[in-house]
Amino acid sequence: MSARAKVAVLISGRGSNMATLLEAAQRPDYPAEIVLVASNRPSALGLARAAEAGIATEAVDHRAYPDRAAFERALDAALRRHGVEFLVLAGFMRVLTPWFVEAWAGRMLNIHPSLLPLFRGTHTHAQALAAGVRVHGCTVHFVVPELDAGPIVAQAAVPVLPEDDEDSLSARVLVQEHRLYPAALALVASGRARLDGGRVVFAPGSAAAEGALVAPALG
């Protein structure tokens, strides 16, 4: 592995979490380098944002392939051409097959807008409001074949306010996503957090091991 881990960001849209990762990676002490932004949608706005930042981009249009397997093999080949060591999913709207997930096991992260294992899938903010929970948030986890079920690296919490609707709650969670994802990626890229036997193991003395990344924002 290189001194700075080589990371690809997979997107399908505007890439707001991608932008925060790119910003973090500009710091000389950050342990990861974003070497590629790839999308299954050639029109994804995040591709243009990445190109403007001087990052290599790839559009692997899933509609151009006869099936999911062919698309994933083309995507995998693109990642390997760029020497990618870790993947982060940032609004990548494709369910990945076990073949792809296992090929990148322990090296692929996702961010989900809920405090997993609560509220898997989509419309998480509506689910939280309907359930009447008082605390909501976001989770960075390793990707496994089961959707939104991977071992958790870090979480951040926000209050659910009486006047909240989906938009206001989503906006508050997104602020925490932008803080949490770069921190969690730094842990994994530096080796301070790793997947071992289906659980996340933290290096002694790391911020996450001390609970600092389970970061409530309840004030």
Residue tagged active-site, from 62, 112, 136, 178 = 112
How far apart are alpha carbons 168 and 158 in whole angstroms? 11
Q: Look at residues 141, 118, 148 and name the one whose alpha carbon lies nearest to residue 187.
A: 141
Residues ≥6 apart with Cβ < 8 Å to 201: 193, 194, 195
141 carries an active-site annotation? no
55-85 CB burial, b ≥16 within 10 A, e <16: bebbebebeebeeeeebbebbbebbeeeebb
Enumerate the active-site residues. 112
